[in-house]
Chain A
Amino acid sequence: DVKVTQSSRYLVKRTGEKVFLECVQDMDHENMFWYRQDPGLGLRLIYFSYDVKMKEKGDIPEGYSVSREKKERFSLILESASTNQTSMYLCASSLRTSGSNEQFFGPGTRLTVL
């Protein structure tokens, strides 16, 4: 059974803290993605990576950075968490040769910044 796992289901952090969200996939997918999901706004792409050490900004990269040192692992970093980063964070992966870019999602991390 293919899987995308995320390090935490729920996280509570304080304003100004550095936050790490980890994502691991076991499907040998080249592409990995980080989204945030907010009511009424749907899924918004933060960053994606199409290969190890490669990263591309999505639609809302401000306040975030990413790291992809290994093919299976993609980390999202909030350098200095703020209350407007309270959200559901979803990681996904897809195969490079997939024309449809079919994505497999993790269960999500609900982050609350106080």
Chain B
Amino acid sequence: QKEVEQDPGPLSVPEGAIVSLNCTYSNSAFQYFMWYRQYSRKGPELLMYTYSSGNKEDGRFTAQVDKSSKYISLFIRDSQPSDSATYLCAMTRTGGFKTIFGAGTRLFVKA
């Protein structure tokens, strides 16, 4: 079993839709939960991170962590064609060198 599971998609939605991206994990030691966005032919860039459980909002993006269920989500409101990218969840222990990445979900937002 992989430490982090993420549906690879692709996920195709119309412009303006609410997008929900999710990951599950197995290691209860993870404390930092991150979402990276990767555009085609580019390296990943950090979108948001959350420490421990709870929600975090940044503009149209909301990250949620449910440690009891070992489940994290990224919601994108009012999705735009420019949001079309691969979204990777990632997680790490406090002070850890190793970050474990999900396989990434490919998102297409159609105009």
**B95 interface residue per 8 A CB criterion:** yes
**B94 interface residue per 8 A CB criterion:** yes
Q: Could you tell me the dominant secondary structure of chain B's interface residues? A: loop
Tell me which residues across on chain A come within 8 A of B101, comparing CB atoms: 42-43
Which size class do B's interface residues fall under? Answer: 20 to 34
User: B42 and A108: CB pair below 8 A?
Assistant: yes
Which of A11-19, A70-78, A97-105 is found at the contact surface with chain B? A97-105
Which of B43-51, B54-62, B73-81 is found at the contact surface with chain A? B43-51
Given known A-B contacts A41-B103, A43-B88, A105 and B45 have beta carbons under 8 A apart: yes
- Please, how many angstroms separate the alpha-carbon atoms of A4 and B46 in the complex? 14
Q: Which residues of B contact A (CB under 8 A)?
A: 4, 6, 8, 31-32, 34, 41-46, 49, 51, 88, 92, 94-99, 101-104
Q: Which residues of A contact B (CB under 8 A)?
A: 4, 31, 40-43, 45, 48, 50, 56, 58, 90, 92, 99-108
